[in-house]
Amino acid sequence: PLKPASRHPSLDDASLDMVAFSCAVTSPRRRGHCKTLTSKTTLVPVLLVLLTFLWTESHSASSSSSSPIVTTKYGPLKGVRLQFSSSSARHLDPVTAYLSIPYASPPINAYRFMPPVAPLPWRETRPATTPPPACPQRFPDISNRTRALETMTERRYLFLSKLIPHLANQSEDCLYLNFYVPTSPPDESRRDARYPMVLVIHGESWEWGSGNEFDGAALASLGNHIVVTFNYRLGPLGFLKTSNQQSNFGLLDVIAALHWVKENADSFSGDKNRITLLGYRTGAVVANLLLVAQIAKGLFQRAVLISGSVLSPWALQRRPEDVAKQLSTALGCVGKLPLSHPESDLAPCLRKKHVSELISFVPASPKFLSAYAPYVDNVLLNNPKTLMESGGQSSSSSSQHFVQDQFLRAELLILFTTSEGVHELNDHELRAGFESDHRDKILRTLVRNVFNYHQQEILSIVRNEYTDWERPILHPIPLRDSTVEALSDCVAIGPCLQVAGIHAKRGAKTWVMHFSHVSKDAGGVGEESAGFERLGSMEGDIVPYVMGLPVTNNIPALGLNQHVSPFAALANFSKQDAFVAEMLLHYVANFVKSGDPNLNEPSALGLSSSSHHDPDHHWPSDDWVVLGPTSREQRDQRRRIQAPQPWESYEPVGQVYLSLGAKPRLRNHYRGHKMALWLNLIPQIHLPGGTDVTLNHHAFPDDNPNLYIGPVRPLSAYSLGEQGQSPGFGIVVAQPQPGGPQTASPGASLTTTECLESTESPLSQGTRHSVL
């Protein structure tokens, strides 16, 4: 490093400015050091430094191959160098992609419905330049647009249509990883510095999707950390209960992928002690489950949950035996023993079936719930809510000591949008709105499928809370808005905030963000005429920002023959959108790096939130960060970005969260009164009462299907008399206490996701250790 010298008198401000600008362009990751060149540097050292930077960059470019090779513990891989378009909103350094890396042996033939097995090593250099096949799946039928819009919004339809090319190639041999590795040096100055790593768990559905839909190139370049995407088994292949001994194969795939990433991190210059899980919707549920799964202990350090948590009503399957019975009956695999019998196993028969027979079967699934989903098996998964509330401690019947879980040690970042329930409506409902009787059908269906007890009372208080009593006779659009808000709070936002509260209450580091930004051109499907702007940010809007798509102008990195991301269909992004994306990725990059979105030094994006540690700090008017040019014609222009809002952690009392829009703001108690309804009042009402209370007292008096908008649980599913049995999809019955009604504990939360408490057996522990 050069020793600072006095300013040379012959070097005017314009020259100094140009030298610093050239330095920033030549080495974007060292802009902070370049800034010092404008004040206390002589001309000769400046030129020497500039020439050194030029030589370093040109040497690096000439020595790097367009087909780089790394050697993993299983064999060598040849990747591909990806360049970004010059039309991007800012300069992006290239990344190296290694695609289709096997992290497990193909789960075919005898390995179908079995835990993943380590892949076989290879000697020859394996090409890693093409995306892997997606796992077999049943995709929503959108072949007829008119019919499809009867069950989904047009935004949803556009997204699915863009997703089809990413899922066209399917195979049971699908357990592969994709690595996106930065080419810029790690942010730390140590010689042994390594990149933090982000494992992206794809979401949207338990039945369809692929890691291929998430292009990690821009996120890797902008955040200067490694991004890993991957596939895991879905639908019946991943979440069908075939026996009492082995189950949740999709979750075991995720754990196997984590093992592979941690084992081979050094090969990609990754830091195996800084691994972050990032999941959206169902992917967030997986990340949440692994936070309390002992088998995942030590495999990662922090988690980002986007629009989902394990406490959402659709997160888990509470009656997996029912789905298994439906499928086995349809395919002629009903055994002599009931599935609950310890020796019952459907797998041998199902392995003989063609994969299309398994995937094409459609089990009955009440609206707002999931047919296929992870389930508590007391082997891989115990009761997640109990584990979180007990501080992440679980006991074993074979040993008296307690084991500290991952949940308390992991930092947690939770993000959600305003209207998380918008895609529960169809296109006509979303565009035209509806009258109050249709609103009641939607809410009645929600209550019928999600709650067991006092359904009429719960429906009444929900309807009362989400009615604007200053305008009792409402237009269909305001009715639509309040209904979407109720659905969002119940199925996503309330459960997310509940997890945040539990995590923060235990003293763990927690941050909550409400992504409030709305793009002016959200997909070009006529939102203005339908009043969509009233709904604010919608489900899925945040994902392209996490991917960095507004910064790349929706243009994928050059170097791969790949399809445009399906999330690019959600908006035609503007410069303001790119600005919001950079702020969001600033926080995410800092969290990935340190577990704190307010890193006390410039992030990979060149932004700093160090004022978080100074309560008296006020942003000066010149506190801006200069970014490099965006095109050759703009080499003399600079874009200035204000340092982001410091972000306070989430606490159970203050409940401070960051509302991220064009102007980020700290707020507290998100929808406070409405959250109190879902997290405090309803749990006090949703109780079975005494043993003399009949089923008719709890259920809706009329079972007329015209009162609902979709499939509902049959009354036979509400079996209050079966000890230890769940009442149907989504819920587990809390057993009535003799002598009187039950009472809720202080701070009770959504009991719709509680399970019967259970303990592990020595057999389940032995199975756990032999899984991977």
State the chain's mean pLDDT as an integer.
Answer: 79
Backbone φ and ψ of 72, nearest 5°: -95, 180
Give, in order, the Cα–Cα distances in Å from 547 to each of 523, 544, 584, 623, 747: 17, 5, 10, 27, 36
Same domain (yes/no): 41, 68: no
Higher-pLDDT residue of 644, 638: 644
In a domain, residue 624? The reply is: no
At 537, give phi and psi (nearest 5°).
-65, 140
**Chosen domain end from 63, 79, 100:** 63
Residue 28: what pLDDT? 41
Residue 7 resides in a domain: no
Q: Are residues 326 and 429 in the same domain?
A: yes
Domain end, chosen from 63, 86, 102, is at 63
pLDDT tens-digit readout, 112-155: 999 999 999 999 999 999 999 999 999 999 999 999 999 999 99
Lowest mean pLDDT among 267-276, 317-326, 679-688, 710-719: 710-719
Summarize the confidence of residues 296-303 as an average pLDDT. 95
Least confident among 4-13, 223-232, 568-577 = 4-13
Q: What is the mean pLDDT of residues 594-612?
A: 61
d(CA 620, CA 608): 13
Residue that is written with structure tokens 């380590």 in the block: 118
pLDDT, tens digit (0-9, with 9 covering 90-100), for 714-742: 876 654 433 333 333 233 333 333 334 33
pLDDT of residue 391: 57
Whether residue 626 is contained in a domain is answered as no
469 is a domain residue: yes
Other CB atoms within 10 A of residue 171 CB: 14
Note the pLDDT of residue 716. Answer: 61
pLDDT higher than threshold 70 for residue 658: yes
Looking at 79-83, 233-237, 476-480, 693-697, which range is the least confident one?
693-697
CATH number of the domain enclosing 438: 3.40.50.1820
pTM above 0.85, yes or no: no
Evaluate if residue 683 carries a pLDDT over 80. yes
Residue 462 Cα distances to 183, 412, 466, 675, 701, angstroms: 52, 30, 6, 11, 18
* Ramachandran class of 363: left when φ > 0, alpha when ψ lies in -120 to 50, beta otherwise: beta
**Which of 75-79, 177-181, 643-647 is predicted with the least confidence, judged by mean pLDDT?**
643-647
Domain containing residue 184: 64-614+632-772
Same domain, 46 and 78: no
Q: Are residues 86 and 58 in the same domain?
A: no
Same domain, yes or no, for 202 and 234?
yes
Look at residue 171 and tell me whether its pLDDT is greater than 80: yes
Q: Report pLDDT for 755.
A: 30
List pLDDT tens digits, range 453-477.
999 999 999 999 999 888 867 889 9
- Is residue 693's pLDDT more than 80? no
The DSSP secondary structure of 225-291, one letter per residue, reads: SEEEEE----HHHHH---BSSS--HHHHHHHHHHHHHHHTGGGGTEEEEEEEEEEETHHHHHHHHHH
Q: What percent of the chain has pLDDT over 90?
A: 59
Average pLDDT over residues 90-118: 96
- For 295, the 3-state DSSP assignment is helix
At 306 the three-state DSSP class reads: strand
Q: Label residue 73 exposed, middle or buried (CB < 10 Å: 0-12, 13-18, 19+).
A: exposed
> Is residue 619 scored above 90 in pLDDT?
no
User: Whose CA is closest to 436, among 470, 468, 398, 404?
Assistant: 468
- Count of the separate structural domains present in the chain: 2
The neighbouring-strand residues paired with 530 are none
User: For position 717, what pLDDT does the model report?
Assistant: 60
Q: Which residue has the tokens 């960051």?
A: 658
Q: What is the pLDDT of residue 566?
A: 84
Question: Is residue 5, in this structure, part of any structural domain at all?
Answer: no
Where does the pLDDT of residue 5 fall: very low under 50, low under 70, confident under 90, or very high at 90 and above? very low
Pair 57, 82 in one domain: no
Could you report the per-residue pLDDT of 338-360, keeping only the tens digit for each? 777 878 899 999 999 999 999 99
What are the structure tokens assigned to 551, written together?
Answer: 């910064």
Same domain, 497 and 403: yes
Give residue 704's pLDDT.
85
100 and 241 belong to one structural domain: yes
Name the most confidently modeled range: 462-466, 555-559, 562-566.
Answer: 462-466
Q: Is residue 627 part of a domain?
A: no
pLDDT band for 697, please (50, 70, 90 cuts): confident
- Is the domain of 245 the same as that of 269? yes
Predicted confidence band at 695 (pLDDT cuts at 50, 70, 90)? confident
DSSP line for 164-197: HHHHSSB-S---EEEEEEESSPPSS-STT--EEE
| Judgement on whether residues 415 and 312 belong to the same structural domain of the protein | yes
Residue 744 lies in a domain: yes
The larger pLDDT score, comparing residue 368 to residue 601, is at 368
Do 32 and 114 reside in the same domain of the chain?
Answer: no
Q: What is the DSSP letter of 538?
A: B
Are residue 17 and residue 152 in the same domain, yes or no? no
Classify strands 393-396 and 270-280 as parallel, antiparallel or unpaired.
unpaired
Q: What is the mean pLDDT of residues 77-86?
A: 92
- With H, G, I as helix, E, B as strand and everything else as coil, classify residue 472: coil
Q: Which residue has the higher pLDDT, 409 or 356?
A: 356
The confidence band for 623, taking pLDDT boundaries of 50, 70 and 90, is very low
The stretches of 38-137 forming alpha helices (DSSP H) are: 43-63
- In this prediction, residue 517 carries a pLDDT of 96
The answer, yes or no, to whether residue 60 has pLDDT greater than 60, is no
**Partners of 394 in beta bridges:** 403
Q: Name which residue leads in pLDDT, 279 or 48.
A: 279
Segment 684-701 shows an average pLDDT of: 80
Q: By C-alpha distance, which of 65, 44, 67, 47 is closest to 55?
A: 47
Q: Is residue 588 part of a domain?
A: yes
